[in-house]
Structure 1
Amino acid sequence: MGRPCALREKEVERVFSTPTIQQINSDYAEFFNLVGNNTGVDLSENGFRDITTVVDFLYIQVSYRIYYPPLPDWTTEGNVKCNNNPIIPCKDKTVYEIMKEMNDLRFYVMYNSTELHKLDGGSVLTDIGKKFGEYVAGNRSVTYNIYSAHDSTVSAVLTALQISDAKQPEYTATVMVELHKSAGDAQGHEVKVFYKPITDNSSIEEKNLPGCPSPCKLEDFLQYVKRFEISDWDKECGNNVPTTPAPPSTDSLGLTHQEKITIIACSTVVVVFCLILLIMFVRKRSSRSMAPYLSLGTGA
């Protein structure tokens, strides 16, 4: 999910610009102004989209039961004005409760489109389907796979499977996708999906996939996740990938034109240098052999 994707950015921009979301931004304009004034975070452009910047810190404090310091006083105030928005009613709710409800819906909206199913949670589900296929084919070296991920990834997987409860997953929330032998078919296999929303208790939910109630035949599950396959990420996303230049042509020796010019130039320099040394050597020998004899004189 962290890889660059132009299509994903465009799709996220689209889902946060729908009339429904814009109506929330309009109805809660005064609310976003209140939050912004108390935090310094600018929520004027798209408060619904950006509210997670604020609420995440508070949610961590509440989730981990960090009672000191307590939540800021302004987050526990009520009487919030929201123009009776039908999607997120504000009556009898505190500022924090409204922010949390917005963030829950935001997690759902963020991943709930055909394109986002494929680009986000779909990559995990494709990998699971691939491993199930390999196991049934006889490659059983791995029997248990664990994917460590953020709450956003958990939400993306739940939404892609169309079993999301439209809430931000609790920290340590777990999705389990299990491969079983079919009860009535010795050669068959089936898939069960479980969701454990919180680890503080033993609650665990068995989920039914759309059109494939649990247990779901492996063939049907693989067909379901097949829609998420991406063979070329950059092509799928429409990323502008620099074109790799063609390698320079070479001769029979594997040398490019530029390499041959370099070799010729270096060879010429070496030859010229050797000629200069040879000329200097010859001239020095010649000067010695032609030295004049000393005159002995005849005496007077």
Structure 2
Amino acid sequence: MGRMLDDISSKMLFKASKGDEDETKILVHSTHDTALSGLMTTFDVYDEKWPAFTASITFELFRRRKPESSNSSRFNLSGVASTVQGVLSPFSGKDKNQSDHYIRMRYQNRNLVLPMCSEEGKHLPGSPEFCTLSAFRDRVKELTPVDWEAECAPSGRTFS
């Protein structure tokens, strides 16, 4: 899962840092049921049920907007998206602060709360399904080999 998640994560980070300067509107990865169950297992949200035909996982990217008035305590999220069979949609505005960006993982149109984002500061306050982009990226880095050939080679084999 590391290679695919690294691609998604890198493109989300690029979109978060460039905003409207990046014209990417959607990112689609097509995959098999085995990859979907692998992704859910990787993020500790697998429900032990095999993915249905045409099942999908969507990773959406959001940016938190500043409240319109100083009395407002609600968070206003501007939707953007990326997916495995999914989406990387546009931002509005010019705020490029990575800490104000959130990832939401959805399976079959249901929000998933990722255990890796359960700690305070790793999700949008009051909305645990919105994982901070930095917490998401940290987990993806843990899953992504630094040296693909060495780390993914069968035991005792090397590639030339």
**Scaled by the length of structure 2, what TM-score is found?**
0.65
Matches within 5 A, 1:57-76: none
Instruction: Tell me whether 1:156 sits opposite 2:38 in the alignment.
Output: yes
Deviation (angstroms), 1:237 = 2.2
Larger helix percent = 1
- Distance (whole Å) between structure 2 residues aligned to residue 224 and residue 236 of structure 1: 17
SS class of match (1:236):
helix
Name the % identity: 28
CA contact (8 A) 1:194 1:207 kept: yes
SS class of match (2:46):
coil
CA contact (8 A) 2:116 2:139 kept: no
Q: Hey, what does 1:192 align to over in structure 2? A: 104
CA contact (8 A) 1:177 1:192 kept: yes
SS class of match (1:123):
helix
CA contact (8 A) 1:126 1:225 kept: yes
Instruction: Tell me whether 1:132 sits opposite 2:5 in the alignment.
Output: no
Q: Hey, what does 1:227 align to over in structure 2? A: 142
Deviation (angstroms), 1:184 = 4.5
- Distance (whole Å) between structure 2 residues aligned to residue 183 and residue 194 of structure 1: 22
Instruction: Tell me whether 1:210 sits opposite 2:92 in the alignment.
Output: no
- Distance (whole Å) between structure 2 residues aligned to residue 222 and residue 184 of structure 1: 23
- Unaligned 5+ runs, structure 2: 68-94, 118-127
CA deviations on 1:256-298 (whole Å, 9 max, x unpaired) are: xxxxxxxxxxxxxxxxxxxxxxxxxxxxxxxxxxxxxxxxxxx
CA deviations on 1:40-84 (whole Å, 9 max, x unpaired) are: xxxxxxxxxxxxxxxxxxxxxxxxxxxxxxxxxxxxxxxxxxxxx
Q: What is the aligned length?
A: 116
Task: Specify which structure has the bigger relative contact order, considering alpha-carbon pairs within 8 angstroms and separated by 6 or more residues.
Answer: 2
- Distance (whole Å) between structure 2 residues aligned to residue 192 and residue 140 of structure 1: 20
- Unaligned 5+ runs, structure 1: 1-120, 197-203, 244-300
Cα RMSD of the aligned pairs, angstroms, is 1.9
One-letter amino acid of the counterpart of residue 229, structure 1: T
- Distance (whole Å) between structure 2 residues aligned to residue 238 and residue 211 of structure 1: 28
CA contact (8 A) 2:6 2:141 kept: yes
SS class of match (1:227):
helix
SS class of match (2:105):
strand
CA contact (8 A) 1:158 1:164 kept: yes
Q: Hey, what does 1:115 align to over in structure 2? A: none
One-letter amino acid of the counterpart of residue 159, structure 1: T
**Scaled by the length of structure 1, what TM-score is found?**
0.36
CA contact (8 A) 2:64 2:101 kept: yes
Deviation (angstroms), 1:159 = 0.8
Deviation (angstroms), 1:172 = 0.6
- Distance (whole Å) between structure 2 residues aligned to residue 158 and residue 184 of structure 1: 32
Structure 1 residue ranges, 4+ long, deviating more than 6 angstroms after superposition = none
CA contact (8 A) 1:124 1:157 kept: no
CA deviations on 1:8-60 (whole Å, 9 max, x unpaired) are: xxxxxxxxxxxxxxxxxxxxxxxxxxxxxxxxxxxxxxxxxxxxxxxxxxxxx
Deviation (angstroms), 1:123 = 2.3
